[in-house]
Amino acid sequence: MGGLIVWALFLRARQADMNPPGFFCDEAAAAWNAACLWSDGCNDQGERWPLFFPWIERFDPRTGRSEGFTDDKAPLFIYSTVPAVAWLGPTRVAVRLTAALWGTALVPIGYLLGRRFGGVLAGFVAAGLLTVTPWSLSISRIGFESISMVPLIAAGILIFLRAGGRRREWILSGLCFAGSAYAYSPARLFAPSIMLALAVTHAKPLLRRPGCGLLWAATALLCVMPMLFQWDRLATRWSDLSVRRDDRGAPVAAADAVMLATAHYLRCCSPAFLFISGDPNPRHALPNFGELFWCEGLLAAIGLCRVLRVALASFEPGPDVDPTAERLRRAARFLLLWLLIWPIPASLTRDGGGHALRTLTCLPLPQVLAGCGLATLIGWIRAATDLHLSRGAGPAGSGNSGRRVIVAAAATLALFVAVGAAWFQMPRYFTALFRDAPHRRDDAFQSYMLPIVSYGDAAVAGGRCARIIASPSLTGIRTFICVFGNRTPAEYLRGVRPPFWIGEIPPLDACDRHTLLLLSPADLARFFPRTRGNALRTLTELSNQSEQVVRDGTGQPQGIFVRADRFAAIVRAIQKN
C-alpha cells in the first residue's frame, strides 16, 4: 500500500512546474489568497480569516465595466495551500503540489472502502485504479479546489461504516461531511444527500444507537452553521449557474429546467463522457480520453452485478441471521443509492452535463465496484479450479460442475479483455499526459498572462508610459498582476499597488499619450456591437499600431498594449467610415 501511495504522489507531482503549461486564473487566485493569509491573515480583499474568497469579476462587454464578483471560492483548499505557499511562494508548483496531496489522500481511503465492500483484493484494485485513473489523476495535477472535496466525502463514508458504538468516530464522520461543504460547492448538496442515503440503508443500526446518529447529524449541522449565516454569499455561484436561469440571468420555466436537468443527468452517466471523450473542457481532461479507463468500466459492470445480487437477496430476520451477510446487504444498497445520487449536483447546473469537476462526487465509486468485479472474477475461477481438483463430483453434481466451468471460462475471458484494454489504453494515456500535454498550444491555462504582466511592468519601469489601464475582460487579470507583479502580499494589502489599473476603457476624449491601454478582443464588442467586419478591422489596426501584442499558442491575440491616444484615433477613424 505504501508503494501505491508513493507512486500516486509521484504521478500527481511530476512536471508540476510545466504541465499543464501556464497558470490558470483559479490556480493563481488560490495561490495569491494563500500568500495574503500567510502574510497578514487576510484574503486579497482585506477580510480577516474569511469563509469565502471573492473571485471572478463579472464583466459586461456592452459597457466595458466590471460589475463585482460572480463567485465566492470555498475556503478549505486555499487554507490548505498556505504551507506550500509559505515554502515556495505564490507559484503554480505550490498550488499544484497541494492538489497532488489531496488526490493522493484518496488512494488509501479507496483501499479501505474497497476492502470493506469486497475484501483485500478489491481494496488493492480500487487503490491501484485510483492511482492511475484519468478522472482522479487529471484533476489532482491542477490547482483546483474540487479535488479537496473527494477524500473528505470518501472518508466520511468509510468512518461511518466502521463507527460501531464509538462516539469519536461518529463525530469524525460528521466533521468530514461538513468539511466537504467548505471544499467545493457541489458538496453542499451532495454531502447531505449521501448522509441521507447512509441513514436510510443503515436505519436499523442507527435506531439501535439513536444517540450516535443524532451526534453524527448534529456535528455536521453545527459545523456548517457559520457558512449558513452568510447565505447571500453561499448562494452566489448557485444563482449564476442554476438550471432555473439562462445565460443572461433570466428565469427559465420549471418544465424546461426539469428537462435540462434530466438531459444533464443522462449526459453525466453516458458512455461518451465516462469512457470515450470525457469533459470537452481542455482544462479538465485530455482530449480523446474518457474520465475512466475501459477496463474500469468492464470490471465495474461485473461488480455492479454482484452488488445487485447482494442487495436484492432476501433473508428471514431472526437470531440466526449472519451479521456479516446483513452488513454486506446494507452496504450493497448504499452503493446502489450512491450510484443514483452522484450526478445530481452537476445536473442541476446550467452547463453541468459532462462537467468533470462537478461530477467528482462519483469517486471512488467506480474503482470500488471495479475492485469488487475483479474479486468476483477471481472467485469464479477459483471455485471452478477447486471443483476440478477435488474430483468429488458425482453424476448428481455434473450439471453444476459444467455450469461452473462455463462461468470460469467466461470470467477468464473477461479478465483477459480487461487486462488487454488496460495494456492498450494506459500507455497511450500516459504518453499524452507526460509527453504531449506540456507542449499543448490551446493555452487553456492562460500561459500568455506572464508575458502580459512582464511587458507592462517593463513599460512603466522604462518610462514608456505613466500608467496602464487593464480591461477587466481579461479573465483574472487582477490576480495575475498581483502574482506576477513586483509586489509582496503585505505591500498589496497596505495599498502599494502595481502600475496597473483595472477599470473600464476611458472615454475617447479622455485618452492621452501617457497612458497604455491593455485590451482583449472582447473589448471590441463595446465599440462595434453590430459589425464583425469593423471589429476585425479594428483588431488589425490595433495590431499594426500597438506597442505590443501578446498572442496565445494558436497565434490569436490575447493582450494588446496600445497608447490611449492612438486607440482613440483608430476608433474615430473607423466610426467615421
What is the distance of C-alpha 483 from the center of its chain? 23
User: What's the confidence (pLDDT) of residue 473?
Assistant: 80
pLDDT at position 541 over 50: yes
What Rg do the C-alpha atoms of the chain give, in angstroms? Answer: 28
167-179: average pLDDT: 96
User: What's the confidence (pLDDT) of residue 70?
Assistant: 56
133-158: average pLDDT: 96
User: What's the confidence (pLDDT) of residue 524?
Assistant: 67
- Mean of the per-residue pLDDT values of the chain: 86
- Given pLDDT bands bounded at 50, 70 and 90, which one contains residue 86? very high
261-266: average pLDDT: 94
pLDDT at position 478 over 80: yes
Return the higher-pLDDT residue of 537 and 565: 565
User: What's the confidence (pLDDT) of residue 388?
Assistant: 55
pLDDT at position 246 over 70: yes
Most confident of the following: 52-66, 222-236, 539-553 = 222-236
In tens, the pLDDT along 505-517 reads 777 666 778 888 8
User: What's the confidence (pLDDT) of residue 382?
Assistant: 85
Question: In which residue are the cell numbers 453524527 written?
Answer: 216
In tens, the pLDDT along 388-423 reads 555 554 444 455 667 777 888 888 899 999 999 999
In tens, the pLDDT along 430-464 reads 999 999 988 876 678 999 999 998 888 888 888 88
Q: Which of 254, 183, 175, 179 is CA-nearest to residue 219?
A: 175
Taking the model in full, what pTM does it have?
0.92
- Given pLDDT bands bounded at 50, 70 and 90, which one contains residue 567? confident
269 torsion bin: left (phi>0), alpha (psi -120 to 50), beta (else): alpha
Burial class (CB in 10 A: 0-12, 13-18, 19+), 427: exposed
Contacts 24+ apart (CB under 8 A), 82-90: 82/34, 82/37, 82/38, 84/34, 85/31, 85/34, 85/35, 85/38, 86/38, 89/35, 90/28, 90/31, 90/32, 90/34, 90/35, 90/483, 90/489
Question: In which residue are the cell numbers 475484501 written?
Answer: 119
User: What's the confidence (pLDDT) of residue 577?
Assistant: 64
- Given pLDDT bands bounded at 50, 70 and 90, which one contains residue 128? very high
562-569: average pLDDT: 83
User: If you count DSSP H runs as helices and E runs as strands, how many of each does the chain have, helices first?
Assistant: 26, 7
Question: In which residue are the cell numbers 489568497 written?
Answer: 33
Most confident of the following: 68-72, 128-132, 240-244 = 128-132
In tens, the pLDDT along 325-370 reads 888 899 999 999 999 999 999 999 988 888 999 999 999 999 999 9
User: What's the confidence (pLDDT) of residue 373?
Assistant: 95
User: What's the confidence (pLDDT) of residue 503?
Assistant: 67
CA distance 104 to 150: 11
pLDDT at position 63 over 50: no
- Given pLDDT bands bounded at 50, 70 and 90, which one contains residue 487? confident
253-280: average pLDDT: 93
How many CB atoms within 10 Å of residue 340? 12
The length of the chain in residues reads: 577
151-163: average pLDDT: 95
User: What's the confidence (pLDDT) of residue 463?
Assistant: 84
Contact 504, 510 (CB under 8 A): no
User: What's the confidence (pLDDT) of residue 535?
Assistant: 55
User: What's the confidence (pLDDT) of residue 135?
Assistant: 95
CA distance 37 to 176: 23
CA distance 24 to 531: 32
User: What's the confidence (pLDDT) of residue 355?
Assistant: 93
In tens, the pLDDT along 297-321 reads 999 999 999 999 999 876 555 555 6
- Given pLDDT bands bounded at 50, 70 and 90, which one contains residue 62? very low
